[in-house]
Structure 1
């Protein structure tokens, strides 16, 4: 058994299960290995064979399925925490600490496909947009996505984050495939908003590039999915607000104001404090900026598990 790259080790998760079951090292070791060997494994100081590991799981009355669930949960929690750090720093335009976070993660990256590597590239892009108002071209992201024949959850999340750095036509052509594949993950709590995050980020990207035809098509896909009895509040708010932005772009100020203010009223009604602050700021920017032909806004949502 080996350590997981930047999450809890298998040994640490084994220890978590053992302690939760109130078992001592000697009881968990049984006749499979010595308590000292098990202790070293739990603390990430030594390895055990796969056969020995499965025997040790039996000793603590744990199934491989239970263990793998906790492995995934550990990874998701760490990833969620990482995105919250990025989101908090980006929302406050704290570029100094955003750079420090990027540099610290860069030192931990061991492989080009490790999550932290993609997060480092994402921060690089955020910093570039802050400084130049233009995305940073990073062909390695697209190269990776194009070499994977059947996108899984990881590839969908990468596309969600990096769609704005590709050529706008590339983002558009990948969108329908990404939407179709992301639908099967909607039943998973951590991915319930993934489809809507993809659509919202793509909508913002198309508006940024003034591809209003692509933006309208994205709104249509968004509405089709919402019509399937989606009970999450955030996607409904986001859809209404994006409709307001679309109205501003089509020089329909009256509808733009009505839709954006409706979202703000709903945030107040449902006590959505963070959403209220974010939408009010964006509304004021669009209200005063939409008549300027040079006005641009690029909003990239980072999904986190509530």
Structure 2
């Protein structure tokens, strides 16, 4: 994110609203200052930027979401590449990404590159346990997540993609950290959705391991979060499936199967065939294990 890209975007928003620089400026911000900022030759304090956005009737979330159209951050590009290779189950490409992050860590001594490499190792373990090399680096990931008081986008993504690395004890501990340390940002739709989706994955992992106490606790929290947003229909349907899975694991197989099949049927009705097939395969697998 550069001053030039932010300034250009600000000018684009201003001009799209047919506002002159004079209409945007006030006693604390001169036309000359705004002109220089829009051309990328000077900086503005965050306070002045917020004042301008307020006059343009643009939220800071909307502004920085639009800013992403100008340039992707290095981490965002890494995540895009990682997702593409994971969907294709291309372990060699993921190993290349991991090794590149480790090389950057060795050259620049910035801990986030090492954390990125650990996250990529988790995906390697998920795809092929035989290709995963266990080492002491995992502790550094846990330490980082435990030390951060406010989880931002980076921490949620890091945790969500590293679930295969954790023991049940560590998974429960870190999930509690995520729940407690993302409250400040839940007003931001993206963060709330990411937290909810990560929580659903955690519950699924715990139930697959037969851990019912904490999975029930987290599912209750998930239901509370879903009550605050009526539009998260996919997440609500997945939550219904998880509720059925819980009943199944705790011995009420008939009720559990009914809820899971109803959830799958909902995906069929919505013409979400891939999702329906994925959950149907999951249900078939757990029934075969009985």
Q: Same fold (TM over 0.5)?
A: yes
The RMSD of aligned alpha carbons is 4.3
Alignment partner, residue 196 of structure 1: 196
Counterpart mapping for 1:19-168 below 5 A: 52-54=42-44, 63=52, 70-71=63-64, 74=67, 78=73, 82-106=78-102, 110=108, 112-114=110-112, 117-132=114-129, 136=134, 138-168=138-168
Write out per-residue CA displacement over residues 86-127 of structure 1, whole angstroms, 9 at most, x where no aligned residue: 33432332222323343455555645344x654332111110
Alignment partner, residue 205 of structure 1: 205
Give distance in 2, aligned partners of 1:31 and 1:234.
Answer: 49
User: 1:54 and 1:280, CA in 2 relative to 1: closer, same or farther beyond 3 A?
Assistant: same
**Helix, strand or coil: the match of 1:54?**
coil
Alignment partner, residue 295 of structure 1: none
**Helix, strand or coil: the match of 2:95?**
helix
Instruction: Return 5+ residue gaps in structure 2 as ranges.
Output: 16-20, 22-30
Q: TM-score normalized by structure 2?
A: 0.69
Alignment partner, residue 285 of structure 1: 285
Aligned length: 265
Contact in 1 for aligned 2:163/2:202 (Cα 8 Å)? yes
Give distance in 2, aligned partners of 1:149 and 1:187.
Answer: 17
Contact in 2 for aligned 1:257/1:287 (Cα 8 Å)? no
Give distance in 1, aligned partners of 2:148 and 2:117.
Answer: 21
Shift of residue 233, structure 1, vs aligned partner? 0.9
**Helix, strand or coil: the match of 2:128?**
helix
- Select the structure with the greater relative contact order (CA < 8 A; seq sep ≥ 6): 1
Contact in 1 for aligned 2:116/2:158 (Cα 8 Å)? no
Alignment partner, residue 235 of structure 2: 235
Give distance in 1, aligned partners of 2:104 and 2:90.
Answer: 22
Give distance in 2, aligned partners of 1:173 and 1:98.
Answer: 27
Alignment partner, residue 4 of structure 1: none
Give distance in 1, aligned partners of 2:239 and 2:160.
Answer: 17
Q: TM-score normalized by structure 1?
A: 0.66
